[in-house]
Amino acid sequence: MSWRVYLLRCSDGSLYCGTTTDVERRLSEHNLGVGSRYTRTRLPVSLVWSSGELTKSEAFRKEYRIKRLSKVVKEELIGAGGNETKSPSEARHG
């Protein structure tokens, strides 16, 4: 089973990072208000980035690293178009 890490943009402009095996299902769950406590009060959310296929452990490690990044660096990751290689800022900060 392949896993993915994803970033959502919430209605207040904040970013939410999560891990799943089915990004479309998870996005739907978030927008129904059953995805997470954080996104529940910031609906609607939209998918702005997702990783390539990963193992479960790779996905959870990547999610942990992304959650520790600043919003500026997360925006750079989004701007890189889902590129799996580290951006210069991510390499410096992660």
What's the token pair of residue 29? 């769950």
- The whole-angstrom separation of Cα 36 and Cα 64 is 16
- The whole-angstrom separation of Cα 55 and Cα 77 is 20
One DSSP character per residue, the chain reads --BEEEEEE-TTS-EEEEEES-HHHHHHHHHTT-S-HHHHTS-S-EEEEE---B-HHHHHHHHHHHHTS-HHHHHHHHHTTS-SSPPHHHHHH-
- What local confidence, expressed as pLDDT, does residue 94 receive? 43
Q: Is the dihedral of CA 73, 45, 14, 41 positive or negative?
A: negative
- What local confidence, expressed as pLDDT, does residue 1 receive? 86
Domains along the sequence of the chain with CATH: 4-93 (3.40.1440.10)
**pLDDT by 10-residue block (mean), the chain, 94 residues:** 96 98 97 95 97 97 97 94 46 42
